[in-house]
Chains A and B, each alone.
Chain A
Amino acid sequence: MKFQAIDQFAANLKPSTQAAVYDGSKKGYDARTKTLFDHFEDPNRLRVVAGEIKQHVVENLDTYLPQVEAKLQANGVIVHWAATAEAANQAVLDIMRARNAKKMVKSKTMVSEETELGHFLEKNGVECVETDLGEFIIQIDGDHPSHLVKPIIHKNRRDIAVSFEKHGLGAYNDDPQTITQRARVHLRKKYLEADVALTGANFISAESGRLVLVTNEGNSRFCLAAAKTHIAMVGIEKILPRDRDLALLLNLLARSATGQQLTVYTEFITGPKSAAQPDGPEEMHVIFVDNGRTDVLASECREILRCIRCGACLNVCPVYRQASGHAYRSVYPGPVGAVLTPLLAGKNFPAFADLPKASSLCGACNEVCPVNIPIPDLLLRLRDKGKQAHVPSPGMPPMGPWALLASQPTVWKAALVGGKIINHLPTKLLPIPALRAWENKRSLPEWKGGDFRKWMKGRARPLGAPNVSRGGPSGPALPGNIL
């Protein structure tokens, strides 16, 4: 019996990695809940409204894209467009070559992870240094980020100390303060030598053309204080209609991502530096990147384009917590990745059609999403898409016997009566591969039988009576095999 790919990955995960991912994501989730509910009367309303704003943008991109382009140009920004990852990378390289630029510092951007910009530039003789501490460690390790806002959630301090020693950043020392201090010293040289700074954008306002960047470390601030050219790679869905909408989304973003009220550095950029300012970019470029987003827009899953990359759905997801980000085999892990990855894959959809199946559809991702994306619905739509396209499902247990049982009332009734037998069977030894795979990590609960209709009748209450919780002092207990 073959496992599903994500199950297999989780089964092979080192216990220390699994513990790190579990602890890190749980901490993020707890902090999020506390700040949102401590601070706001109705935090749920914030995310519903934010979702409506982003859905409006997604469904009106044909108006907003030309509008934001005109604003940016009026602000003195040079606007480029890239339909594919290759075009986006080439646009960056062309800008650099035209200025004879050889060195780049890069602030964390998910879209450049999508296009694998770093590898592309290195191949073309450009030094490209990641400046976010986590991303820098990923880069020297030749690894991949495994979380949207905590890229090295899967590593511990000893792993990092070994990498630093290997790359000439001092003798082995696993004290986080020392690790950070060494990165500080190493990276400030890189900022000051760089010709070009590359960033992404968290939001871009159609009203003013303000491009918003958030970091805690201050790396994008340093990038934009040291380099003479600024390039921002921006997904076409990053627009917000008005400046005041930024206040709503910023209130949600940091709280959802890390439980902070506001990220330490929240930057509003409209163009090159002013004339009197000695430091910072003399020119600014924005590259609008499609790379599959218009396919998502044309699909039945366009709601996923609301995503603001906060990582809250990862932190809460029981599957992500067990499997870690790398199990999702792409730039976007967790519930958002299970939707976005197969969609962005285009023709390569079948290779990722298993991802939407790796979910119990518990709905927690939807409940925490700051833009209220109905992720479970989208997962179902993608499962259907896989079914319609006849994509095989390796590792899925055969559902034939279950279908037979559930569609024949007499067989079903007989099974209910005979179900108790299962308590006396050594189920772990049964030669049924699907059952063995399942029982490998779990044990079957005791079969208690029961009669749902009888239970339901006993539970009847007069209209208007208080809704007593199931199994409460005055309510009938639920038979053991339900829930």
Chain B
Amino acid sequence: MSADREAILSRVRGALAPLHQRASLPDWDNELIHMRTLRGDVDAWTLFQARMKLVNGLPLEGAPALVAWLVQNNWTHGYCDPLLWPRLQSAFPAGFTVETTFDRTRVDDYQFGITRAAGAVAETGTLIFTDAATSSRLAALTPWAHIAVLDRAQIHLDLQHAVTQLADDPNIIFCTGPSKTADVEGILIEGVHGPGQQVALLLE
């Protein structure tokens, strides 16, 4: 294997040796990727909501709105991050079964999963998840509905800002809408391997 390393690096050096001049690294201004449709006169949460709806995500405000939505869909069995549950518990009426440890041997029992978002990107309607903020990767992925709990202060205005502020975390996910495919005849189908419903829940 280290023989392969030396072989590759020496071939790379050999291939580049005849070049008299190497292409330099261009600098570029953030303005280059500024989206012109982005409105600067609204707050980040308002913008985020509008953009998230464009990718078929669902922004909600406050625990009662979430519970009403779950009741409406008849989803009563789910998972919640143990750190979040004390903040949400009082809004959930009797009849709900909410577990705070995720059992991977019965992933299909959970109709919804509630975990924390580490941030969001307004211009793309994106939620950001990290290993540090996500209590279980599987709980944020396998239930049909994933609810990511977000604070107002966590919202980046644009992708450029979010990418340059990436946390020191081994697994950062930018999630833009529900899991989807267009592999079959280009027809959009949601809920392929991950959630068919992606919710951003703003808690004050």
Contacts and interface: CB of A to CB of B under 8 A. Distances in A.
Contacts of B107: 188, 192
Range of interface residues on A (Cβ < 8 Å): 35 or more
B87 interface: no
Interface string B176-195: 11111111111101011111
Interface stretch (B21-29, B42-50, B91-99): B21-29
Given A188-B142, A218-B141, A265-B173, A133 B14 contact: no
The DSSP consensus for interface residues of chain A is helix
B132 interface: yes
Given A41-B36, A179-B184, A222-B141, A55 B175 contact: no
Interface stretch (B3-11, B59-67, B70-78, B147-155): B3-11
Q: Interface residues of B toward A: which range?
A: 35 or more
A246 B161 CA distance: 11
A87 B192 contact: no
B15 A262 contact: no
Given A222-B141, A264-B176, A52 B26 contact: yes
Contacts of A218: 141, 179, 192-195
A244 interface: yes
A11 interface: no
A40 B9 CA distance: 39
A38 B36 CA distance: 8
Nearest to B134: A277
Interface stretch (A77-85, A329-337, A408-416, A424-432): A77-85
Nearest to A156: B185
Interface in B99-155: 102, 104, 107-108, 123-124, 126, 131-132, 134-138, 141-142
Contacts of B176: 260-266
A268 interface: yes
Given A56-B22, A81-B4, A251 B33 contact: yes
Contact of A150 (B22, B104, B183): B183
B192 A183 contact: yes
Contacts of B160: 244, 247
Nearest to A241: B25
Interface stretch (A57-65, A116-124, A338-346, A379-387): A57-65
Contacts of A46: 32-33
Nearest to B140: A225
B117 to A, nearest CB: 14
Nearest to A178: B189
A141 B170 CA distance: 36
Nearest to B101: A278
Interface stretch (A290-298, A355-363, A444-452, A470-478): A290-298
Interface stretch (A19-27, A320-328, A397-405, A455-463): A19-27
A216 B174 CA distance: 11
Given A216-B181, A246-B163, A247-B159, A81 B8 contact: yes
A217 B1 contact: no
A322 to B, nearest CB: 18
A71 interface: no
A294 B12 contact: yes
A9 to B, nearest CB: 22
A311 to B, nearest CB: 13
B35 A62 contact: no
Contacts of B186: 23-24, 27, 150
Contacts of B135: 278
A300 B9 CA distance: 19
Interface string A247-262: 1101100000010111
Contacts of B84: none
B102 to A, nearest CB: 7
Given A219-B193, A277-B134, 7 more contacts: A42-B32, A261-B124, A264-B180, A268-B166, A270-B169, A272-B170, A294-B11
21 contacts: A59-B16, A60-B22, A61-B12, A81-B5, A157-B185, A176-B187, A184-B193, A218-B192, A226-B104, A247-B33, A247-B160, A247-B162, A262-B124, A268-B173, A268-B174, A269-B170, A269-B171, A269-B172, A270-B171, A276-B131, A298-B14
8 tightest CB-CB pairs across the interface, nearest first? Answer: A218-B194, A298-B15, A225-B137, A294-B11, A134-B183, A218-B179, A279-B137, A217-B192
